[in-house]
Each structure stands twice: as structure tokens, then as C-alpha cells.
């Protein structure tokens, strides 16, 4: 029973982190020239919402997918590794001009059926128009521990 509660807490945090990452990729765009040695960089201010659901679970690893809304709507896939106090994972946002992959670290803030969470995201790589994407931000949201449905809000600043 303790292991089951720990897995649920970790799963909640993972779902929250995933949602936050997804939101980060579905951001409000503010494009401008950024200084760069060889090419103009674009900046992207992320302030968006995402919704995810559990697709598969294997031990303490959760697989999630869903959608993000905002200026860059698209789909989201994520893999989270859960523990009692922290969830880590990788989230990939798939948009029409490419994809962005982020690392996420999240922490549960409550233990109810609908749990709150928050954490940080770091953009690690991208494809297409986002092939040189870098950035960081934060996220917060809620997860339903019975259905593993996640709603998340993320704020981040990226360059690509």
C-alpha cells in the first residue's frame, strides 16, 4: 500500500511535469532578432496550457500524451520516472514547424485525489525550425490520481 501511494505521488508529479513541458512548447510567440555569432536567433516567450492523459504505465515509469493550445498548437508525448518526492522526465512537443524536447523536474505539493504540482523545465533539443532550441522555465498544474489526467500551465523563454 505504501509503494502504491508512492507510485501515485510520483505519477502525479510526472504528469504535471509533462503537462508543463507541453505547455512550454505551445507558447505565445514573440519573435525578434537575438544576437548570435553566425545567424539570427528567434525568441519565444511561452505562456500556455496543456492537457495530458496516461497512455501506459510500467512500474514507476509513466507514458503520457495530449495536446497543447496557444500560438503553437500541437501534440505532446512524455515519459516520466516517478519517486515518492520527485518526478523527472522528457517531454516532446510536436508542432507544424518541428519539435522541441525538454527535460522536466516536478514536485507534488498535495496528496489529494486531485493533486497540485510544480517544477522546472529545460529545453534540450529540437527539430525543424526549432533544431537549435534552448531555454528554461517553470510549470504548475493539477493531476487527477484516479484517471491520471493532467492540466498544466507553463511559462518559459526560449531561443531557436
Domains of the chain, earliest start first: 2-159 (2.40.350)
Per-residue pLDDT of 47-100, as tens digits, reads: 889 999 999 999 989 899 999 998 778 999 999 888 878 989 999 989 999 999
Residue 108 has pLDDT above 60, yes or no: yes
CB within 8 Å of 95: residues ≥ 6 apart: 25, 26, 72, 73, 74, 130
pTM of the model: 0.73
**Residue 144: its pLDDT value, please?**
87
Residue 40 has pLDDT above 80, yes or no: no
- In Å, what is the CA distance from 81 to each residue of 6, 64, 69, 153? 12, 11, 25, 20
Amino acid at each position: 500500500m505504501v509503494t502504491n501511494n508512492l507510485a501515485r505521488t510520483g505519477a502525479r508529479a510526472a504528469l504535471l511535469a509533462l503537462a508543463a513541458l507541453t505547455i512550454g512548447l505551445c507558447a505565445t510567440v514573440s519573435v525578434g532578432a537575438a544576437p548570435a555569432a553566425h545567424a539570427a536567433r528567434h525568441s519565444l516567450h511561452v505562456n500556455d496550457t496543456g492537457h495530458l492523459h496516461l497512455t501506459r504505465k510500467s512500474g514507476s515509469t509513466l507514458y503520457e500524451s495530449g495536446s497543447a493550445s496557444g500560438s503553437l498548437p500541437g501534440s505532446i508525448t512524455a515519459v516520466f520516472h516517478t519517486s515518492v518526492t520527485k518526478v523527472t522526465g522528457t517531454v516532446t512537443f510536436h508542432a507544424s514547424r518541428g519539435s522541441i524536447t525538454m527535460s522536466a523536474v516536478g514536485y507534488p505539493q498535495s496528496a489529494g485525489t486531485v493533486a497540485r504540482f510544480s517544477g522546472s523545465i529545460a529545453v534540450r533539443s529540437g527539430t525543424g525550425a526549432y533544431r537549435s532550441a534552448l531555454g528554461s522555465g517553470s510549470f504548475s498544474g493539477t493531476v487527477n490520481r484516479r484517471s491520471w489526467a493532467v492540466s498544466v500551465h507553463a511559462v518559459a523563454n526560449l531561443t531557436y
